[in-house]
Amino acid sequence: MTAVITAIEIVGADVPLCVDLDGTLLRTDLLWEYSVALVQQSPKRAIELPFRLLSNRAACKRFLVKNVELDVSTLPYNRDVWEWLLEEKSSGRTLVLTTASDQIIAEAVAKHVGLFDHVFGSNGETNNKANNKLVNIQGKLGMVYDYAGNSEADLPLWRCSRQAIVVNPSVRLEASARRMSNVTRVFPRSHNFASTIIRELRPHQWSKNLLVYLPIIASHKITTKSVLWHSSEAVLAFCCCASAAYVLNDLLDLDADRHHPTKQTRPFASGDLPLSSAIFLLPALLVLAVGIVGTLSWRGAAVITCYFGLTVAYSTLLKRIAVLDVFVLAALYMLRIVTGGLVTGTRISEWLLSFSFLAFLSLGFCKRAAELERRAQADNPVQARTKKDRRPYIQQDLQQLFINGNVCGLISALILALYIHSEDVHTLYRQPMVLWALFPMALFWFARLWFLTRRNQMSEDPVLFALKDRTTLSLLAAAMFILFAAS
């Protein structure tokens, strides 16, 4: 790829079309992509990043390119822009990729796209942005050019261009571009920023936080208004904390998600949400979560902080250690129950802790088994992509996962039976014999769970599956009726 040409070489040719890379051809910013990848691939070197950014941005970009591996084939490209460039190229147009990103990565992208005649990028000393980019274009291509860009840094280039093409603009940016240039084409935003933020927070996962209510349900305090209110505040705090964990997890799993057949549509992976938005999302959600619980109980605030810390450890390391990853998942669910007891001052019985932990272990093994079952049913290209998630399990582990999960489910049901037979139950229920109906229901539910998993009819999130499954919801309603009758 030749990066340097002279104005003489394009005399008599059509007006060249200069195209920006970050936010225009790509739906992401490569500086942020490299920064996130550096944190994951070389955490020690990531400490240098802020100082390098402050000293020389172009040198920092060269530092990132030299120290980070980035797969340009999986980056989120703007398909509408790409198709338009194909049309322009087929008409014989000279296409130039001009970007503030480093020359090395710009050439890699240009090679992957296969449309550009020339590439102008930052060279490690000069940042090819705004006026620097304008000088570069005019010095190498001449004074007449068309330019496609997406940000306020492109305003000087639009002002001097023959035609302006505006990509993914805000209302304000589009108006500014029209005032100073001849805007001939606009590629509008394909999504709403607010709705994308909500999608990244994954509110459909918040139903798991209802586990906070379990201690006051088990102790028959659910009708006490103050206790119910405090539990509800804790649920809200866990919703914020869990969403912060999802934001962090999506950043750390960016490459793996882009290789996954379904996770590649997540906001960060698809480019719908800029990586820079994590700067305000993460701290805002964490402060809100700890602040809410802290007003109720400092112990609750400590537990929810531990929850987030364990989530970080899981996302960065623990999920790659077989069996331990399942125990960590179960512990994350248990912390919700523990917090529910702490913020309301409710004692959590050993029976509830034992039953819940084993039940969540069964669901954790179910999650891993479902992932392996789905991988076994997939074709070879998808198998190759899912290997990028670096899970510690292989197909030979499937049988052991089924054994572990079934055993945990059966022991969990057995603990329920032992609890019904214990003396503790008489303090809460007038008719404890009625509770024996719960035992076969629990056995049935776990048996059905694993039958569905073996038939590859289980989603990769068994908890969410259970919350949407009609049979499970019917059993839950029947269980509530039984508990009421026993009381």
pLDDT, tens digit (0-9, with 9 covering 90-100), for 377-431: 764 444 434 444 566 888 889 999 999 999 999 999 999 999 988 888 888 888 8
Residue-averaged pLDDT of the chain: 89
Tell which residue, 321, 387, 278, has the closest CA to residue 39.
Answer: 278
**CA-angle at 96, arms to 91 and 100, nearest 5°:** 150
Q: Are 5 and 140 in contact (CB under 8 A)?
A: yes
pLDDT, tens digit (0-9, with 9 covering 90-100), for 118-143: 999 999 999 999 999 999 999 999 99
- State how far the Cα of 227 lies from the Cα of 343, in Å rounded to an integer: 8
Structural domains in the chain, sorted by start: 7-190 (3.40.50.1000), 194-486 (1.10.357.140)
Give the percent of the chain with pLDDT over 90.
Answer: 68
pLDDT, tens digit (0-9, with 9 covering 90-100), for 86-120: 999 999 999 999 999 999 999 999 999 999 999 99
Q: Give the model's pLDDT for residue 352.
A: 92
pLDDT at 328 over 50: yes
Q: Which residues pair with 183 in a beta bridge?
A: 164
- State how far the Cα of 310 lies from the Cα of 313, in Å rounded to an integer: 5
Kindly state the DSSP code that residue 348 receives in the 8-state scheme. Answer: P
Overall average pLDDT of the 19-30 stretch: 96
Q: Give the model's pLDDT for residue 440.
A: 93
Q: Give the model's pLDDT for residue 66.
A: 93
Ramachandran region, residue 142 (left: φ > 0; alpha: ψ -120 to 50; beta: rest): left
- State how far the Cα of 401 lies from the Cα of 343, in Å rounded to an integer: 35
Is residue 351 very low, low, confident or very high in pLDDT (cuts 50, 70, 90)? very high
pLDDT at 7 over 60: no
Q: Give the model's pLDDT for residue 311.
A: 92
pLDDT at 315 over 90: no
pLDDT, tens digit (0-9, with 9 covering 90-100), for 258-296: 988 888 899 999 999 999 999 999 999 999 999 998 888
Q: Are 141 and 7 in contact (CB under 8 A)?
A: yes
Is residue 13 very low, low, confident or very high in pLDDT (cuts 50, 70, 90)? very low
Give the percent of the chain with pLDDT over 70.
Answer: 94
Reading the block at residue 246, the tokens are 């999802």
Reading the block at residue 451, the tokens are 């039958």
pLDDT, tens digit (0-9, with 9 covering 90-100), for 294-313: 888 888 889 999 999 999 99
Overall average pLDDT of the 192-220 stretch: 91
Render the burial of 73-98: b for 16+ CB within 10 Å, e for the rest: ebbbbbeebeebbeebbeeebbbbbb
- How many beta carbons lie within 10 A of that of residue 279, not counting itself? 11
Q: Which residues contact 453 (CB under 8 A, 6 or more apart)?
A: 366, 369, 370, 373, 402, 405, 462
Q: Which residues pair with 147 in a beta bridge?
A: 18, 164
Tokens 């030979």 map to which residue?
396
Name all contacts of 147-152 with Cβ < 8 Å and 24+ positions apart. Answer: 147/17, 147/18, 147/19, 147/20, 148/17, 148/18, 148/19, 148/20, 148/24, 148/81, 149/20, 149/23, 149/24, 150/20, 150/22, 150/23, 150/24, 151/20, 151/23, 152/176
- State how far the Cα of 219 lies from the Cα of 341, in Å rounded to an integer: 10
pLDDT at 254 over 50: yes
